[in-house]
A and B are shown apart, each in its own frame.
Chain A
Amino acid sequence: MSTATTPEAPPTTSTAVEKKGGFTAAAANYIDERTSVSTMVKELGRKIFPDHWSFLLGEVALYSFVVILISGSFLTFFFQAAMTPVIYDGSYVPLKGIEMSTAMASTLDISFDIRGGLLMRQVHHWAALLFVASIGLHMMRIFFTGAFRKPRELNWVIGFVLFILAMAEGFTGYSLPDDLLSGNGLRIIDGMVKGIPIVGTWISFLLFGGEFPGEVIVGRLYTLHILLLPAIIVALIALHLLFLVVHKHTQYPGPGRTNMNAVGQPVLPVYAAKAGGFFFIVFGIIMLIASFFTINPIWNYGPYDPSPVSAGTQPDWYIGFADGALRLIPPGLEFVWLDRTWSFNILIPLAALGLFIVLAMIYPFIEAWVTGDKREHHVLDRPRNVPTRTAIGAAGVTFYAGLWAAASSDIIATHFKLTMEGVIHSLQFVVIVGPFIAYFVTKRVCLALQKKDRELVLHGFETGRIVKLPGGEFIEVHEPLTDYERWRLVSYTDYEPLMIRPNSQGRITVGQRLRAGFSRWFFEDRISPVTKTELEAAHGHHDTHHELDEKSAH
């Protein structure tokens, strides 16, 4: 590890080092003597990162964020966040002579009249889509492997807040060009805000500086988009990564891997090189996509005007679940009461989505409360070994996916030649009943996989080799697992349903009962890992190749 870039001991004199290591060593020494950076490099450089493809998903999010920052900075040089009306006189013929806001005109100029502008716009937008998508996949990895357990609950919450901030960044950015599509999107948000009883109208007026659309909203969104939200995101990313370093990285179960160690590559030199190279791979893929595929063609949409609404108006994918909720809510839930309109067709989706988001955010605490497990966990769960959690996750994914799909209900209808009503009703079914189906199916699949694992550990693989014993009996020879394979299959935590016990006052509290109920729900159906005794018992009578000879001997 003692390369020139990681000076380990402060040298006595600088001349001695110069002779030994040349310029690099001298420079490193110069910096170290003034910053004491070597302690940090030593600490970080020896940080161990286990290798698994799914551990790179968070990195994808980080790298696409860097790409967003770079391309976004380029765009700020040319974008003008003002809603002053101007007559467009740029290169795009079908918009020449049309009145539009300065924001729209400058975005068109970026697209048609500034060298590299369109590429940068497309890089920025594609990278933003990839950013949120990779966060989503990263979160699913964390959830299904139980990486949010102690000590990482807070980091889950930070990550979740980052996910919400990323969506906010996306939405504010989507609204900036002031084109027809984004204007429609803003109008939907305005409608949702106005649907909140009593305060809604005032919040909307505050946001838009008067009646929608007004002349200030683009400027305000721009401040949020390039100043406030990125600053918070950068700060939270720093905190997220700091926690990652403090906690050590998690690892999948395997031979030699325990909660006390981390098995993998040190950051320096190989892992750092890999990660650095991976940044350029992600950057390269974004550039390729942005070069070949149009995104957000605002020249098609034209300037925002409250009167036209285009068919097939949708938000970017990550806001789709909210749009879908509005599309799926049945009509007729709006009524006048106390001289006010109560728009339950807006309030119910808002409440449902709010509840969903909050539940997902605090899930680590709920699970910790149910299991009562206060231990630290650095070894990940295989999803099948925690059937209830995996099933809950599958139910959540189904709910989200149903809402998400509903945002494209019209496109599904036209492209699959279905009726719109049919699509809407099917998706209502998916969103309401789908999660339960997903829950039960997933749980059964997990339990079945656990049974299969158990079978493998106890009896080994079937070899397909049939042997006739001297007594005339036919048996199939089973190949036992190697110690390494067996380790992976048997080393997991087995929780049992909580017993209700009276507390120190001799009373059984409601909280206790509730917790016991949850615990029963979580752990009633379970497959225990194979114990040593079971294993020995199985091998005592079983027909491995070696034992076969013994058996045939007597």
Chain B
Amino acid sequence: MRENKKTAGASRRKTGRRHPLATVALIAIGLGVTGGAYAAVNTSTASAETQIAAQSTIEEGEKLFQANCATCHGMGAAGTDSGPSLIGVGAAAVDFQVGTGRMPMQMNGPQAEEKPVQFTDEQVKALANYVASLGPGPSIPEDHLTNGGGDASNGAELFRINCAMCHNVAGAGGALTEGKFAPALDTVTGVHIYEAMVTGPQNMPVFNDLNISPEDKRDIITYLQYVQDNRSPGGFELGSLGPVAEGLFIWIFGLGAIVALTVWITAKSN
């Protein structure tokens, strides 16, 4: 979980284990790619160059895929008995599943659990590019949709109506049937939240753009980031679990302390 937060949250918080120049490099790459893509529309020479660059990451992604994923998802991501086909799932699904450490899956179970991320950001991007090249699917969302610049109260309302029945109003997570569960959202980055909504990983339904518009998705992310950044004004949250945690606390620590004090008060002086 922590590892995941660091790698994925780095672009937003500017802290982490990357080289100080990584941001500059990233911006340079970003600008290069966007500029290149723009140029691709206009001139054919520039287009050829970017295609070569994209082609090389796709090839790298394919190698990674064959080494790490093909056992279950099959050569060419066509799927096997142990794993579904990934043709058409898009870059977003790969970025979410691999970027949160859920894939490669550790073991079969009710659902794939989060664990430390197994690949570097570049490798995740290469894998995503490779899978995206196999068929059209949701792509990794743009930064302005995931940076938390939306309307928190609209997001909160949408979250209560669409998400809280599984993830709990405070995003503390909740139980589903047969050992499945909706995970807590207190450390998930905006990009991953967005990707989860558009791809519906594990047992989560897909919230497509007709269902919740990209702007509404941005608002939901804004709300969740507000909750992540502003801890409870009332003090320790006891896991945001509601009355169960409160009841347990008052019985064990509240009443426990008081019983200890009653013993002290009625103790006979020696």
Contacts and interface: CB of A to CB of B under 8 A. Distances in A.
Interface of A: 51-57, 60, 93-98, 111-112, 118, 122, 126, 129-130, 133-134, 137, 180-181, 274, 277-278, 281-282, 285-286, 289, 291-297, 299-302, 305, 307-318, 320, 407-411, 413-414, 417-422
A407 B241 CA distance: 13
Given A180-B160, A289-B254, A296-B243, 8 more contacts: A122-B234, A130-B258, A278-B261, A305-B161, A317-B246, A318-B247, A408-B244, A419-B178
Given A112-B233, A302-B169, A274 B255 contact: no
A414 B173 contact: yes
Contacts of A129: 246-247, 250, 254
Contact of A53 (B238, B247, B259): B259
Given A414-B173, A420-B178, A311 B165 contact: yes
Contacts of A318: 247
Contacts of B261: 278, 281, 285
B179 A311 contact: no
A495 to B, nearest CB: 31
B234 A118 contact: yes
Given A129-B247, A316-B243, A317-B246, A118 B176 contact: no
16 contacts: A93-B152, A94-B155, A111-B234, A130-B254, A277-B265, A281-B258, A285-B254, A285-B261, A291-B235, A293-B238, A296-B246, A316-B243, A410-B174, A411-B241, A419-B177, A420-B175
B58 interface: no
A93 B265 contact: no
Given A118-B234, A316-B246, A317-B251, A285 B175 contact: no
A181 B240 CA distance: 13
Contacts of B237: 294, 297
B237 to A, nearest CB: 5
B164 interface: yes
Contact of A56 (B174, B251, B265): B265
B193 interface: no
B10 interface: no
B181 interface: yes
Nearest to A174: B243
B263 interface: yes
Contacts of A417: 179
Contacts of A295: 234, 246
Contacts, number: 201
B223 interface: yes
B14 to A, nearest CB: 23
Contacts of A309: 164-165
Contact of B177 (A118, A122, A420): A420
Contacts of B242: 181, 312-314
Contacts of B172: 312
A126 B249 CA distance: 10
B226 interface: yes
Nearest to B224: A94
A409 B242 CA distance: 13
Interface in B129-181: 152-157, 160-161, 164-170, 172-179, 181
A302 B266 CA distance: 45
A305 B255 contact: no
Contacts of A52: 266
Contacts of B157: 98, 302
A376 to B, nearest CB: 25
A410 B173 CA distance: 10
Contacts of A57: 259, 262
A126 B255 contact: no
A413 B181 contact: yes
Contacts of A413: 175, 179, 181
Contact of A130 (B164, B255, B263): B255
B167 A51 contact: no
A278 to B, nearest CB: 6
Contacts of B223: 94
Contacts of A300: 169-170, 227, 232, 240
A309 B167 CA distance: 11
Contacts of B196: none
A289 B234 CA distance: 11
A235 to B, nearest CB: 26
Contacts of B175: 311, 409-411, 413-414, 420
Nearest to A292: B235
A285 B247 contact: no
A215 to B, nearest CB: 21
Given A314-B243, A316-B247, A418 B236 contact: no
B182 interface: yes
B257 A414 contact: no
Nearest to A405: B244
A198 to B, nearest CB: 33
B168 A312 contact: yes
Interface in B101-117: 110
A287 B166 CA distance: 34
A282 B182 CA distance: 39
A312 B240 CA distance: 10
Contacts of A94: 152-153, 155-156, 223, 226-227
B266 A53 contact: yes
A204 B244 CA distance: 27
B170 A294 contact: no
B234 A96 contact: no
Instruction: Among A51, A55, A297, A311, find the residue whose CB has the most chain B CB atoms closer than 10 A.
Output: A311
Contacts of B244: 312, 314, 317, 320, 407-408, 411
Nearest to A265: B266
B226 A93 contact: yes
Top 3 closest pairs, chain A to chain B, by CB: A311-B174, A317-B247, A294-B234
Given A301-B169, A311-B168, A421-B177, A133 B156 contact: no
A299 B227 CA distance: 10
B169 A60 contact: no
A98 to B, nearest CB: 5
Contact of A297 (B167, B178, B234): B234
A420 B243 contact: no
Interface in B181-201: 181-182
Contacts of B262: 53-54, 56-57, 60, 278
Given A129-B250, A278-B265, A311 B156 contact: no
A112 B174 CA distance: 28
